A = this chain, B = another copy of it.
Amino acid sequence: MTYSYVSHLECPVCDTTYDANKIQQLCTCGSPLLVRYDLERVRNEVKRSAIRERNPDLWRYHELLPVQHEDHVITLGEGMTPLLSMPKLGERYGLTHLYMKDESLIPTGSFKARGAAVGISKAKELGVQQFAMPTNGNAGAAWALYAARAGIKATIVMPQDAPSITRTEVSLSGAELFLVNGLISDAGKMVAEKVKHDQIYDASTLKEPYRIEGKKTMGLEIAEQLGWAMPDVILYPTGGGVGLIGIYKALQELKEIGWLAGKLPRLVAVQAEGCAPIVKAWEEKKERSEFWEQSTTVAFGINVPKALGDFLVLRALYETDGMAIAISDQELLEEQQHIAEYEGAFVCPEGAATFAAAKRLTEQGWIGRDESVVVLNTGAGIKYPDTVKIEVPLLEIGESII
């Protein structure tokens, strides 16, 4: 039985192809590489009904993942997160079919675990023994922990302002950790220098081709969970944008192998007003974004002033008749509270931004009230204790609460 139908790597800019059995980073032209599969063989040899009986993790789609031998899979049980109906919040927004894909139920409490699971597994298969990467926190935590399980050595550099729990995760894993008094772009420069000097694997976003494949599984799961159908709209909090690129890739692949039919959902990139390079580029109908100066937002995971894959994100928006929208910190924090009050979900700030966008786009009529809408909550609110301010009465023993 063929475990993976991976065929090769391909540059989406200059079409150069690369061997997927060797370590590859960027294309010589500077673009990220995409993983290609023998989709015709998948169409002929794999039945989607076979998926149903497999374990509820992302490896159930192993034919469409790049790891060639099951023995190389490094898993902490990631994937098949819930697709939850949000009826009360939907009613508040004026939406009949509102769903949350809830990535808080995943190792490390963030969707970054998907990219790390597939990225680390493939790195192990390729013989990688050491890597370095910059991170806004959650990706570094996930990669460090999966690396520990795989026995791979990791160096992680993150901004001082990244969620502090992610420091603890990296540190506990035994990885080498540095904080920088700057942004992820500053951390990125340090990592670039290190990987060049030490000749080690560069696991920076999109500089290795496999984390997209992990993130792609969000799209595969949404399709399966909707009974192999697509929603009308998917909203995604967009920093580096890998998840959006991955979801788009997943749905295209599913169409090509015949497991899905019809129009692709309109993809919406949700950013913060304090860091909205994709929104600006989309409004100006550009192919690429520009570096966003002095970016700032409480939704730290989407504080990415310039994404390497910006052109792939924008391409996905244009080709699906999607759009990009920016949300203020105040709006997303208010929405975070409403989501908990109405539906009992404590989402991360990035996820809350996505809900706020769904609300606003429905009010504006861009989303129709009977359309089916999936919002991505990319992580657990419990990783961000400081974004919520509360006051609680303190009682002494024996006091009454009547």
List A residues at the B interface (Cβ < 8 Å): 52-53, 56-57, 74-77, 80-82, 84, 88, 102, 104-109, 132, 145-151, 155, 157, 160, 164-165, 167-169, 171-174, 177-182, 186, 189-191, 193-194, 197-198, 336-337, 340-346, 380-383, 385, 388, 390, 392-402
Nearest residue, chain B, Cβ from A343: B149
Which of B56, B165, B168, B399 contacts A80 (CB under 8 A)? B56
Q: Once the chains bind, are A148 and B342 in contact (CB under 8 Å)? A: yes
Residues of B within 8 A of A385 (CB): 164-165, 168, 385
Q: Once the chains bind, are A400 and B148 in contact (CB under 8 Å)? A: no
A55 to chain B, nearest CB (A): 8
Contacts A77-B102, A148-B340, A178-B392 given; 5 further ones with Cβ under 8 A?
A77-B84, A132-B401, A160-B394, A164-B385, A165-B382
Q: List the number of copies, as a whole number.
A: 2
A196 to chain B, nearest CB (A): 9
Q: Once the chains bind, are B393 and A344 in contact (CB under 8 Å)? A: no
Nearest residue, chain B, Cβ from A52: B53
Residues of B within 8 A of A399 (CB): 180, 190
4 shortest interchain CB distances as A-B pairs? A77-B82, A149-B344, A56-B56, A172-B340
Selected A-B contacts with CB under 8 Å, 30 pairs: A76-B345, A77-B84, A77-B105, A88-B151, A105-B105, A109-B380, A109-B382, A145-B344, A145-B346, A147-B344, A148-B340, A149-B342, A149-B345, A150-B344, A168-B346, A168-B381, A172-B381, A172-B388, A172-B390, A173-B340, A174-B341, A179-B392, A179-B394, A181-B397, A182-B397, A191-B401, A193-B401, A194-B400, A380-B380, A382-B382
Residues of B within 8 A of A172 (CB): 336-337, 340-341, 346, 381, 388, 390
Which of B148, B177, B197 contacts A343 (CB under 8 A)? B148
Residues of B within 8 A of A193 (CB): 400-402
A350 to chain B, nearest CB (A): 16
A397 to B160, CA, bound (A): 11
A87 to chain B, nearest CB (A): 10
Residues of B within 8 A of A197 (CB): 402
A190 to B394, CA, bound (A): 13
A208 to chain B, nearest CB (A): 18
Q: Once the chains bind, are B401 and A155 in contact (CB under 8 Å)? A: yes
A82 to B172, CA, bound (A): 21
A190 to B399, CA, bound (A): 7
Residues of B within 8 A of A81 (CB): 77
Which of B173, B191, B344, B380 contacts A173 (CB under 8 A)? B344
A195 to chain B, nearest CB (A): 10
Nearest residue, chain B, Cβ from A102: B77
A397 to chain B, nearest CB (A): 4
A356 to B10, CA, bound (A): 48
A155 to chain B, nearest CB (A): 7
A400 to B189, CA, bound (A): 9
If A193-B401, A382-B165, A399-B190 touch, does A76 touch B344 (CB 8 Å cutoff)?
A: yes
Q: Once the chains bind, are B388 and A171 in contact (CB under 8 Å)? A: yes
Residues of B within 8 A of A109 (CB): 104, 109, 380, 382
A174 to B341, CA, bound (A): 6
Nearest residue, chain B, Cβ from A116: B344
Residues of B within 8 A of A102 (CB): 76-77, 107
A102 to chain B, nearest CB (A): 6
A189 to B191, CA, bound (A): 56
If A179-B394, A395-B190 touch, does A53 touch B53 (CB 8 Å cutoff)?
A: yes
Residues of B within 8 A of A57 (CB): 82
Nearest residue, chain B, Cβ from A393: B178
Q: Once the chains bind, are B181 and A396 in contact (CB under 8 Å)? A: yes
Residues of B within 8 A of A108 (CB): 346, 382
A193 to B394, CA, bound (A): 17
